[in-house]
Structure formats: structure tokens, C-alpha cells
Amino acid sequence: MNILEVANLKLWDSVTGKVLIANHSFQLKQGSCLAMVGESGSGKSVTCRAIMRLNKAWIRQSGDIVFKGENLTLLPEREMRKKRGKQLCMIVQNGMSAFDPSCVIGVHLRETLVEHFGWSKNDIEARMKQAMESVMLKNPMELMNKYPHQLSGGMLQRVMIALAIVLEPDVIIADEPTTALDTISQFEVAEQLIRLRERMGCSMIFVSHDLGVVQKMADEVLVMKDGEIVERGATQTIFSDARHEYTQHLVSARLALNHHFKRIMGRS
């Protein structure tokens, strides 16, 4: 069963007339992870934001985005706002952009959870403390009293994952959540996303340049280039039997990096 169905999605810049996404159709199965891969500018992030209806005002869209039988493109903004976070949760590339820089982290967390659940301050703090500890964040109460700039990129990503644990959404869209991080933080955040899926059994759209993480996490893969889906299929098939030359290039580059690393480490 599909939890999300995107049909004939077209996105264009109303100022320049440039078409960003030509004609996308894809499905996300209940409980599965769909990865979107491709070079920068291929249209991955703009597609994710279209699902959430968070693109800039001058980016126009047509087509249908059906979530649990309901067409999101037809909803008033007020109704859409209720779905964001509680049912559709987005973890963005730059953790800093997800939080108001003028407020401590705890204010953002409380506002989000009061909006969706109406919980008391004590309830929110207890649930966030537990969730933050589960993603290996130490001294959560102390962290909630810090401003976003006082936390590292990896810590901010893990705060967002902790918030997702408390929200328990049906679909998580993780838009290049490890790209802006150092290697160790990338590994830690990827591990937490894998655990998040195991724990919640939620559906996920995972956007990444890191084919190693994609191979580990995803059930299916969409390969995008210049605003078009050039290949799609089960993860194993994409990595072992890619048809499109662009996909073959991505996979072979990943294998070459792997061999190079093993050689440096003396494992070959």
C-alpha cells in the first residue's frame, strides 16, 4: 500500500520561466524508505519541499500529491500546517535553518509540540529529554536552554531527529541530513536515522549524496538528473544492475572511492 503518491508533478520558476521538475510521478510505500540520489541541482530538494508545500512563492507547481488518500495540493494552508510536523516531518540539510536563532532550542520544541498535542511544559520536557538521550545527546535540559549557534551541526540534526521521535509522524523527509557535517557526525546522524526507522516503522524519503548510507537505508532508489527521474528500482538492483549510464557512473564512482579508502587503510 502506498502512503504517498506523487503524480505528474511539475515545478517551474515563475520569474524566469525555467522548468525545475519536468513531470515527476513516484510512490512511497507504507513503512519503506525511498532514496533520491543525484548531483546538486538535479531537483531532489525542490521535490521534497513541494511535498511539504514549502517552496518559495515564485516556485509554482502543478500535479497531484496524495497523502493517505488526501490531495495535499488542494488543502488550505491552515490545514497543511497541521500536517507538517505531526504527519509529515522534514529534517533539513542545515540544522541552523530549522531553528529561530533568536530563541533557545527549547522554545522551538515547546511551540511545535503544543501546536500539535497541547501538552504541558513538564510533559514536553520529559518526552524531549527521553528522546534526546535516545539519540545520544547528553544533558538534554541544558541543551534546550542553548541557542542554535551554540550547538554543532551534528547536534542540531540529532535534536531534529529527537523531535521526530516525539512527533511520531507517518512520513519523514530527510533532505541531505548529513551533507553539512564532518565525517564522524555524518556517521552518527546516519546511524540515528536507521534506528529511527527501526523503532518507529515510519515511511521515509531520504535524499543523499552518500551512496553508502543509501545502500544501507533504502528499499528503493530514484536517480535524478536535470529535473528528471532517469532511473528507479529496488536498491539492490540499482547498485548491481544499473541501466542508465548516469546511474552506472554514480555507482562506479562510489566503488572507486571504497577501493581507494581500503587501499589507504591497508585493507586491500
Please, what are the averages of pLDDT over each run of 10 residues along the chain (268 residues)?
97 96 95 94 94 96 97 96 93 86 95 93 95 93 96 91 93 87 80 86 90 90 95 95 92 66 56
Looking at residue 265, what is its pLDDT? 55
User: Which pLDDT score is estimated for 259?
Assistant: 54
Parent domain of 237: 2-264
CATH number of 54's domain: 3.40.50.300
Give pLDDT, residue 264.
62
Separation of alpha carbons 239 and 258, rounded Å:
14
Sign of CA dihedral 215, 216, 222, 224: negative
Per-residue pLDDT, 103: 94
Domain count, the chain: 1
Separation between Cα atoms, residue 245 and residue 239, nearest integer Å: 12
- Identify the pLDDT of residue 263: 62
Spatial CB neighbours of 166, under 8 Å, sequence gap ≥ 6: 113, 127, 128, 131
At residue 71, the pLDDT reads 98
Give the integer Cα–Cα distance in Å for 115 and 111.
6
CA proximity to 47, closest of 258, 229, 215, 183: 229
HSE of 75, CA atoms in CB hemisphere, 13 A: 19
- How far apart are alpha carbons 141 and 182 in whole angstroms? 25
**pTM over 0.85, yes/no:** yes
For residue 73, what pLDDT is reported? 96
Residue 258 has a pLDDT of: 57
